[in-house]
Structures are given as C-alpha cells and as structure tokens.
Amino acid sequence: MHSRRRILAAVLSLACVGVAACSSSGGSSSSNSQASAQATTSASTSSNANSQALANILAPVANEPTSVGVTTPLSKPAPKGIKVVGLDDGIVDENLYYQGMAAAAKSLGWSFSKQSIDDSNPQTVISAATSAINAGAKAVVMVSELQSTIDKVLPLAVQHHAVILDTISSNSAHPGQILASTEDHEFSTQGRYVIAAILQKAAASGQVAHIGETFIPQFATGLIPEENGAKQVLAQYCPKCTMDRINVSYEDVTNGAYVQDIASYLQTHPDINYLFATNAFFVNGLVPALKQAGIPIPMIVGTEPTAANFSALKTGAAQEWFYVPQQVLGWVWTDELARYFTGDNYNIWNTTAFDPQWLMTAQNVQQVPNVNDLNPPANYQAQFEKLWGVSS
C-alpha cells in the first residue's frame, strides 16, 4: 500500500508539470486542463495496475517460508547405503549446499563426501567424477557445469547404474543425468523477482531504473535464463528502464579484481542507479571501494546473500536480497535423489515446486535473531524426514 501511494504521488507530480506547461500557453486552457486530467487518470490507473502486478510477482517470497515446498512422501523407503559425492570448486555457496546434503544423507542412511575440482579446467571435473563412480558412488553432484563436460562422464555413469545430479544449470536431462534447481525453472523466476523488486523501489522513488547486471561470461549457460526472466518483467512493466551487463571474468572473481571491474563500470556509467548482483560475493568489498573513490553507490538487489549481507541490512544498507537457504537446498537435492532411487517423481522440483525463498529487506531482517543461522523453514529437517519416513 505504501509503495502504491508513492507511485501515485510521483505520477501526479509529473502530470502537474504537464498541466502547468499547458496552462502557460494560453488560449484553450479549459480543454487542455480536461485532457491533462484524463491523462493523469489514465496514468494513475496504469501505475496502480503495475504496482499490483509487481506485488503479485513478489507475493511468494514476501514472507518467511514455512514449507519446504513438496508434501508428497516417498512411495517406499529409499535404499540404504547410497554413496553420494559432490564436486567442490571451493566456492562458499557450494560448501553450504554440501553441508545440507551431508546432513540429509545421514538421515537416509547414505554417505556423502566431496571431491575437489578446478572449474576453469573441465578435465578436473571429468577426472573427479570418473574417480568417484569407479570408487562406488551412485550419485555425483555437479554445480553449473557445461553439458559438454557432463557428456564425457555419462557413459561410465550409465554403465555403473550411477547418476549425475546436474544442479543450477540450463542443460537437458539425459540417461544417467537428472536436473536439480534448473535455471529455466528456478532462476528464471528469481530473475523476475529481482527486477520486480527493483521496479517497486524505483517507482516509489519516482525513478527510471537503469540497472547494471553482474555477469560472468564463463557461467553464461546458467545466468542467461535468470537474465531472460529479468528482461521479461523489465519489458512488460518499465519499457523506459534499461539493464546492461557488467562483465566480470571468472579469473577476476577468484582473484578479487571483480571489485575494480564493477567500480570502473559504475564510474563510466553514472546513470546506473541499481545493481543486480547475481551473487552476493560481488558486493564484498565493493561498497567501501566505491565510497573511497567517490563513486555513487547504487541500490543493490541480488541473490545468494550471506550473513555479512544480512548484517549490512540490519545497519541500514541500501540493499535487498533474495535468499535461498543453501543448506535447505542441499536437502532439496537429496530429496530429488531419494525420489530417483525409489522410482518416484523426482522431476517435481523442476516443474511445480520451488526452492524456499525469502526477499530480505531492511525491515524484515530485523525479525531474524541470528543472521549466521538463517535456514527457513524453521523445521525443514523434520519436514523432509516425514517425506522419507525416517527420523534422526
């Protein structure tokens, strides 16, 4: 309601400028005033409709999740003793996913371990997966890997009755390969959420949003669906708004040079007033660097936040974050594997169910007692164990 009032006020303010200009021209002031009033009414109606549409888009993530998203239990107990290996390139988010998978595997009577890879070298991915399957792994978890890399492992997986759990990608399923948290299903929707939140903020401030989107070209396969979801909302609800990529190489992400990359872009594009951070690590060190350089700090709306981002929110940082609790996501992926091994509909997570998400703002973050332990819904472990017919 507050946002709608501010949008209406902004539209009326702009309309008044138009009316004043018409009045000063003299002559047919009555007809001009009537036309302006009609235009104001039309603009106000459109603004209210847009405001409600954006609120509807954000409705699923406006409040703290209370459900894991799936209520259909396994049709039979999952087999015991399944060995799961996660390929790990050292990114913090992956470690959190895998912490969740390790705990979930324990509940099912499975084992979980990690194997290190270098994501810039596909051969290390192939070698690690091959080694894991040859050592008895029945499931190998990959995060955002290229289909061409996965293809090199599929014959061995099929031969050993193992499966590749391909997560956070826009690849297609193949024999020996199933998908989880797909970009087309999950992250296209998340892109829509981010832009809806930005447009709400911009309208409330009477702004046209000019958005810089952090983008790693090496991860384009996974990022493009999220970007496409964002563009759909942008085109529909604010054709005057713009969104441009801020390209950052994977090498610069790993060596810290991404801060300079983004700062330089913002310095040479002063019209950017919103930053779409496709991962929270892009913000680490950025705000202090911008302050030091005297570069205006855009409003930041992004995904994959950490406790540090929540702490910044609590102290009034101009940021909003879409939070998918990473450890809970590890349980989601394990549930998908359990459904695969029991012959149930594991694809439910890629069609109708969504990972738990929450739009964290400066207001609702105050409800969180401990930002270092935020994994909603509060009883997610018990919810999953109920689905599996087990108890820890």
Q: What is the pLDDT of residue 45?
A: 52
Distances from the Cα of 121 to the Cα of 87, 117, 124, 164, angstroms: 13, 8, 6, 19
Q: What is the pLDDT of residue 229?
A: 93
Using only C-alpha atoms, what is the Rg of the chain?
Answer: 24
| DSSP per residue, 312-374 | HHHTT-SEEEEE--HHHHHHHHHHHHHHHHHTS-GGGGGTT-----EEE-TTGGGG-S-TTS-
- Rounded Cα gap, residues 222 and 220, in angstroms: 5
Q: What is the pLDDT of residue 17?
A: 30
pTM (predicted TM-score): 0.76
Strand segments, DSSP code E, in 248-303 are 274-277, 299-303
Low-confidence ranges of the chain (pLDDT < 50): 1-33, 35-43
- Taking alpha carbons only, the member of 55, 89, 359 closest to residue 203 is 55
**Do 198 and 211 meet the contact criterion of CB atoms below 8 Å apart?**
yes
